[in-house]
Chain A
């Protein structure tokens, strides 16, 4: 089968690898019809995620058709159309029983490695380093799904792949980020980063009763999408974010702040240079400009919610702000299984159509180009959906052609 394989920093190749097979009774094999590139995949692409090995198949947002089930899977059958959540969760352990699926105790066969870095191990994830299980990912034609009786959710044929695919990660991630803000009717919520997670955070915050959402980014297309989603847009290259946020809230600050940027955050000036130097010297693992701002901007007693990925040690993070201003900080990998059902209902009832984030649909064979385009925000790229069974563009037709098709398809 074809799969997108990681061979090192900025080195991806779509190549032929063996097809997956059932290894455990509760496994299933899925034939993937749609898979997406996540913003967090860019951290792997950029070489920021420890524990990757050359030869790893990446990707953790995927859906398709069940083609084989192990004897331990009773609730799925061959032919079912499902969306798969990115954390792998057993459903039996202490955390799964509390519906904290991304903290499953039994799904990371390399738990010892995560324990070395973080003290304890979270759940195994698809295609996200050996420290998080070393599971082959879903940017491929097929994938093996462990604990398939717990993870995948069946989706009705009346909905397109594009409408339900993001139940695998970014929609629940944006939703959980907003839910963690404990939003009261009329609250003001500020969101750093208007990529897919930021955009879903905006939509979710409004669904949960926020009176006002302020979105912060620097790319005009992303800010336009944020405005379309119902937010007021701030371009941090044009205004002083802290000043404007204070001004917009009468000096008090937003009731909740969501950091949807993560460890490759971009910033100018002294701190920007400082972070880049320290990160390149491996004195700092993550660049957190958005988190620094959120901790300063949030109102006294407010909540800072962090759906963004941070991996290790952060520098110059104003912890005193949390203590002296009684902030609540919430984070965590998304407990996707908890949200898939309710969010599918929102999609079915027409309250939200997650396909609004898609800017590009490409064959899987274009994955390496798509990663570069997404990383560099070329061609207004916000979300790429990869089609594993779509033929590569014919000789002569270039990437531009495939993009053109998508744009027609969208509008």
Chain B
């Protein structure tokens, strides 16, 4: 994860872009009087660019491309300001001052962009040409040792037992596996994935291979808890969401989003490992359910039928 400071810096740059863009579009005259250069048309088009860049930084999970776009914009601005530094320009002094200011901002932009390019994901999956639009981490404490947790997870036949949406996993070769998700035969999703890291007793990382319908990459770390109190299992997942942000928000509200599903998978992993079974009430007797009760089951708000 990028550190809090880098995230704050990126957000600051995003808002700076928005403010500058708005100023350039709405009051090009004021901007010209401060910088000493620029025609209204040029300034307005630069404003549109700034605004788009700022919104990109503020709304996208991975701000790196948008920060790079800021660097490109800075170069264009510097070129514009350089023309204003010719001796004939009455605002030469202001142009020189603005040039220095923009150069300084460009250095900050470049540092931030480089940071987010380097730390686009978890250390274990960085360097993977992974589709990392969305990212989450989740963890659970278990009473078992890291070795037991690793062994249980590494035995791929166990995965469909606790990953609810998974039907089967087959080994293709030493590092590659074929995954099949549950679903009707027409809508069934299948994909290939390879193990990118395998540290016995401590960690595993994987990513989907080209052509996967739901490209994703992930890692699981089995971290010894303090004082021999078992293991903290830490899972990180990068994925490209189906649909836009609104769809993702709605899915989260209905507990149908990937993060919720993975969190529940992790609970089942712990239950299976510790108790040998997964707690359920599905199939127990009940009275007549109302529409609300049936909906609660359909949306998996309760395990009861």
Nearest opposing residue in chain B for A106, CB measure? B271
Contact B283 A56 (CB under 8 A): no
Contacts of A17 in B (CB 8 A): 285-287
Once A109-B303, A110-B302, A111-B267 are accepted as A-B contacts, the answer to whether A53 and B275 lie under 8 Å apart by CB is no
- 7 closest A-B pairs by beta carbon, nearest first, are A5-B287, A55-B287, A109-B303, A134-B304, A130-B302, A53-B293, A54-B290
The answer to whether A57 and B279 touch (CB under 8 A), given A92-B274, A130-B302, is no
List of B residues within 8 angstroms of A119 by Cβ: none
17 more A-B residue pairs beyond the given contacts A20-B285, A106-B270, A135-B281, with a C-beta to C-beta distance below 8 A: A5-B286, A17-B285, A17-B286, A17-B287, A19-B285, A23-B282, A24-B277, A53-B293, A55-B288, A55-B289, A57-B285, A97-B143, A106-B275, A133-B281, A134-B281, A134-B304, A136-B284
B276 lies within 8 A of A26 (CB): yes
Whether B277 contacts A54 by the Cβ 8 Å rule is no
Contact A57 to B270, CB < 8 A, known contacts A26-B276, A113-B301: no
CB closest chain-A residue, reference B283: A23
**Chain A contacts for B296, CB-based, 8 A:** 53, 130
Q: A110 to B260: give the CA distance in the assembly, Å.
A: 12
Across the interface, which residues of B come within 8 angstroms of A113, CB to CB?
301-302
Tally B residues with Cβ within 8 Å of A.
35
Q: Smallest CB–CB gap between A5 and chain B, Å?
A: 4
Q: Return chain A residues, CB-CB under 8 Å to B288.
A: 54-55
Chain A residues with Cβ below 8 Å from B285 are 1, 3, 17-20, 57, 136, 140
Residues of B within 8 A of A48 (CB): none
Among B270, B279, B281, B287, the residue within 8 A (CB) of A54 is B287
Q: Is the interface of A mostly helix, strand, loop or mixed?
A: loop
Q: A13 to B287, Cβ gap below 8 A?
A: yes
Q: Is A147 an interface residue (CB 8 A)?
A: yes
Distance of A384 Cα from B278 Cα, bound (Å): 35
Q: How far is the CA of A111 from the CA of B270 in the complex (A)?
A: 13
Q: Are A106 and B279 interface neighbours, CB within 8 A?
A: yes
Q: Kindly list chain A residues whose C-beta atoms are within 8 Å of the C-beta of B264.
A: 112
Any B CB within 8 A of the CB of A188: no
Q: Are B277 and A136 in contact (CB under 8 A)?
A: no
Contact indicator A26/B277 (Cβ below 8 Å)? yes
- In the complex formed, the residue of A with least CB distance to B290 is A54
Per the bound structure, the CA–CA distance linking A25 and B271 in Å amounts to: 13
**A residues within 8 A CB of B185?**
none
Q: Which residues of A lie under 8 Å from residue B290 when comparing CB positions?
A: 53-55
The one of B141, B260, B284 in contact with A23, judged by C-beta atoms closer than 8 angstroms, is B284
| Docked pose: A112 CA to B267 CA in angstroms | 10
Secondary structure at the B interface, as helix, strand, loop or mixed, is loop
Interchain CB contact (< 8 A) of A108 among B279, B289, B292: B279
Q: Bound state CA distance, A108 and B264, in angstroms?
A: 12
A81 within 8 Å of B (CB atoms): no
Complex interface residues of chain A between 46 and 98 (CB less than 8 A to chain B): 53-57, 72, 88, 90-94, 97
> Which single member of A55, A140, A144 contacts B293 (CB below 8 Å)?
A55
Q: A383 to nearest B CB, angstroms? A: 25
Chain A nearest CB from B263 CB (Å) reads 8
Does A7 count as interface, using CB distance less than 8 angstroms?
Answer: yes
Are B141's CB and A94's CB within 8 A?
yes
Question: With A and B bound together, what is the CA distance between A91 and B274 in angstroms?
Answer: 9
Interface size range on A against B: 35 or more
Are B274 and A90 neighbours in the complex by a CB distance under 8 Å?
yes
Please indicate the chain B residues that have their CB under 8 angstroms from the CB of A3 in the complex.
285, 287
Q: List 7 A-B contacts (CB under 8 A).
A: A53-B289, A72-B276, A94-B141, A106-B271, A110-B301, A135-B284, A146-B279
Task: With A7-B287, A92-B274 as known contacts, state yes or no: A134 contacts B303, CB within 8 Å.
Answer: yes
- Given the known interface contacts A53-B293, A134-B303, the answer about A109 and B287 at a Cβ–Cβ threshold of 8 Å is no
Tell me the chain B residues, 226-275 only, with Cβ under 8 Å from chain A. 229-230, 255, 260, 263-264, 267, 270-271, 274-275
What CA separation (Å) do A15 and B263 show in the bound complex? Answer: 37
- What residues on A are CB-neighbors of B277 within 8 Å? 24-26, 72
- Are B286 and A57 closer than 8 Å at their CB atoms? yes
User: Which residues of chain A have C-beta atoms less than 8 A from B283's C-beta?
Assistant: 21, 23
Q: Are B141 and A53 in contact (CB under 8 A)?
A: no
Contacts of A168 in B (CB 8 A): none
Whole-angstrom distance between the alpha carbons of A56 and B288 in the complex?
Answer: 8
The complex places the Cα of A106 from the Cα of B162 at a distance, in Å, of 14
Q: B263: nearest residue on chain A (CB-CB)? A: A112
| CB neighbors of A among B62-83 (8 A) | none
Taking CB atoms and an 8 Å cut-off, the chain A residues in 4-18 that contact chain B are 5-7, 13, 15, 17-18
- Measured between alpha carbons, how far is A2 from B278 in the docked complex, in Å? 28
Q: Which chain B residue lies CB-closest to A94? A: B143
Instruction: Give the shortest distance, in Å, between A404 (CB) and chain B (any CB).
Output: 31
Complex contacts, A133 vs chain B, CB 8 Å: 279, 281
A233 to B178, CA, bound (A): 72
Of A19, A109, A147, which one neighbours B280 at CB under 8 angstroms? A109
Q: A94 contacts B303, CB within 8 Å?
A: no
CA–CA, A3 and B281, complex, Å: 17
Q: How far is the CB of A111 from chain B (nearest CB, A)?
A: 7
User: Contacts of A53 on B, CB cut-off 8 Å?
Assistant: 289-290, 292-293, 296, 302, 304
* A105 in contact with B270 (CB, 8 Å): yes
Minimal Cβ-Cβ distance residue in A for B297: A53
Contact between chains at A57 and B287 (CB < 8 Å): yes
List chain A residues, Cβ under 8 A from B287: 3, 5-7, 13, 15, 17, 54-57
What is the CA–CA distance of A25 and B275 in the complex, to the nearest angstrom? 10
Residues of chain B contacted by A108 (CB below 8 angstroms)? 279
For B280, the chain A residues whose CB sits under 8 A away are 23-24, 109
What 0/1 pattern do residues 133 to 158 of A give for CB contact below 8 A with B? Answer: 11110001000101100000000000
Q: Give bound CA distance, A363 to B5, whole Å.
A: 67
Contacts of B301 in A (CB 8 A): 110, 113, 130
Q: A201 contacts the other chain (Cβ, under 8 Å)?
A: no
Closest to A15 in B: B287
Q: Which of B143, B280, B284, B289 has most chain A Cβ within 10 Å?
A: B284
- Whether B286 lies near A56 (C-beta < 8 A) is yes
Inter-chain CA distance A379–B282, complex, in Å, is: 40
CB distance from A22 to the nearest CB of B (A): 9
Q: Please report the C-alpha to C-alpha distance between residue A25 and residue B276 in the assembled complex, in whole angstroms.
A: 8
